[in-house]
Amino acid sequence: MLNEFRRNLVSGEWVLFATGRAKHPPSPEEDRQYTAKETCPFEDLKKSGNTPVWFYPDENNWRIAVYENKFPAVGQGMHVDSQTQGPFEIQESVGTHNLFIYKDHERRLSDFSVDEIVEVIRIYKRRYKEIQDAESMARYILIFHNSGKEAGASVYHPHSQIISTPILPPDVAKSVSGSYRFFEEHKKNVYDVLLKWEMESGDRIICQNDKFVAFCPFVSKYPYEVRIFMKNAQPHFEQLPDDFDDELAEVLLTALKKIKKALNDPDFNMLIHTAPTEPTHTHDYYCWHIEILPKTKITGGFELGTGVDINVVDPDEAAEKLRNAEV
Ligand SMILES: [Zn+2]
C-alpha cells in the first residue's frame, strides 16, 4: 500500500498517493443515441453546416478532414491587448479551434495502423505550424483528443482538436518556468534527469524504442496516466523531424493498445504538451510530451478544495499492468 505525498519535480505540485482507498472502476455506459452512426454529425459534413479547412489526402478520398469547430471554445476576430475591468485583467478569447475528423465512425485511435498514426502526427504538426504562422498573437497551441463521453467528447465519432489561445495556460507556464528554474539551480535539464532516472529504474516503463519511451510517471496525478517522451529532450513537438514519426507512432500506438486491453477500453484524454509559441531561451529546458489520461477517476471535494490530487493507484503497479498487457 502506498501512502505518501509526492511533489512534481517540474511544476512543484503535490500529489497524494493513497492506494488503500476504494478504486473507481471505469463504467462504460452504453448510450445508443450517442454512439449511433445514423445521427452522427460527422457522417455528412457538408450537410452539417461545418466549415472545412482542408482534407487529407484530398477532398474526395479524405482520411482526415480538418474542420472549423461549429462550437468553438475560442472566437474568431481581431486580437486586442488585455484590458482591465476593476482590479481584473481581461483577455479576449480570440483564436482558432479546429477538429481533425477521422473517416471511420467506429475506429478509435487504438484501432489505427502505425502508418495511420504517422499520418495523424504529420497532420497535427502541419496544422500547428499553419496556425502559428497565421496568428502572431497565439501564445499557446494545444492539440488534444477526447475519446468517449466520459472524456468529454460531445461527439462519439473519433476526432482530435487543436486550439490556440491568446494566454499562456497556467499549467504550461508553471512547467516552463519550473524547468527553467531547475536549470538555473542545477545546470541540468530536468527532463534529462527525470528520464535518466526512469530509464535506469525501469519500474514504470510501459514500452520504448530507440527514440521514445512511454511510462507511468512517479508523480502521476491520475491512475494509469501515461506519458510519452522523446529520449533526447526537445521543447517543440511541431519541430519533430518527419523521420522520427514512425518511432513515435509505434510507441504511441502500443501505449494506446495496452491501455485498451488492460483497462477494458476506457474513455481517455490525450494531449500534447509542447513549449509556448513565443521564441525565447527560457523554453529551451522544456520538453514536449504526450499525455494519455484514461478516465478511471472521479474528482472529489478534497482535490477540488486543495488542488492536491489523490491517486488511488501506485504508478509502479499501473505500469506493470499496462506493460504486461499483450497487444
Ligand atoms: Zn460518425
pLDDT at 2: 58
Contact 237, 291 (CB under 8 A): no
Residue with cell 521564441: 279
pLDDT band at 310 (very low <50, low <70, confident <90, very high): confident
**Neighbour count for residue 55 (Cβ, 10 Å):** 17
pLDDT at 245: 98
Distance from Cα 10 to the centre of ligand 1, integer Å: 39
Distance from Cα 68 to the centre of ligand 1, integer Å: 17
Q: What is the 3-state secondary structure (H, E, C) of the chain?
A: CCEEEEECCCCCCEEEEECCCCCCCCCCCCCHHHHCCCCCCCCCCCCCCCCEEEEECCCCCCCEEEEECCCCCCECCCCCCCEEECCEEECCCECCEEEEEECCCCCCHHHCCHHHHHHHHHHHHHHHHHHHHHCCCCCEEEEEEEECHHHCCCCCCCEEEEEEECCCCHHHHHHHHHHHHHHHHHCCCHHHHHHHHHHHHCCCEEEECCCEEEECCCCCCCCCCEEEEECCCCCCHHHCCHHHHHHHHHHHHHHHHHHHHHCCCCCEEEEEECCCCCCCHHHCCCCCEEEEEECCCCCCHHHHHHCCEEECCCHHHHHHHHHHCCC
Give me Rg for the CA atoms of the chain. 20
Cα 190 to Cα 7: distance, rounded to the nearest angstrom: 14
The percentage of the chain sitting over the pLDDT mark of 70, rounded to a whole number, equals 89
- 81-85, 110-114, 289-293: lowest mean pLDDT where? 81-85
pLDDT band at 306 (very low <50, low <70, confident <90, very high): confident
Distance from Cα 308 to the centre of ligand 1, integer Å: 38
Catalytic amino acids?
159
Residue with cell 505525498: 5
222 closest CA partner among 302, 314, 142, 325: 314
- 64-78, 130-144, 280-294: lowest mean pLDDT where? 64-78
pLDDT at 28: 53
pLDDT at 268: 96
Distance from Cα 104 to the centre of ligand 1, integer Å: 7
Distance from Cα 241 to the centre of ligand 1, integer Å: 32
Distance from Cα 156 to the centre of ligand 1, integer Å: 7
pLDDT at 45: 86
pLDDT, tens digit (0-9, with 9 covering 90-100), for 257-298 = 999 999 999 999 999 999 999 877 788 899 999 999 999 866
Please give the residue that has the higher pLDDT: either 240 or 310. Answer: 240
Report the CATH fold assignment for 3-23+50-75+87-324: HIT family, subunit A (3.30.428)
Q: Apex CA 158: angle with CA 156 and CA 159, to 5°?
A: 115
Q: And the C-alpha cell for 215?
A: 511510462
pLDDT at 21: 40
Cα 159 to Cα 146: distance, rounded to the nearest angstrom: 8
Distance from Cα 45 to the centre of ligand 1, integer Å: 10
pLDDT, tens digit (0-9, with 9 covering 90-100), for 12-38 = 665 656 565 444 443 455 466 788 898
pLDDT at position 78 over 90: no
Q: What are the sequence ranges of the domains in the chain? A: 3-23+50-75+87-324
The model carries a pTM of 0.89
**Neighbour count for residue 301 (Cβ, 10 Å):** 7
**Stretch 234-260: mean pLDDT:** 97
pLDDT at 109: 97
- 91-95, 122-126, 233-237: lowest mean pLDDT where? 91-95
Specify the length of the chain in residues.
327
Q: Write down the mean pLDDT value for the chain.
A: 88
9 closest CA partner among 217, 208, 276, 187: 217
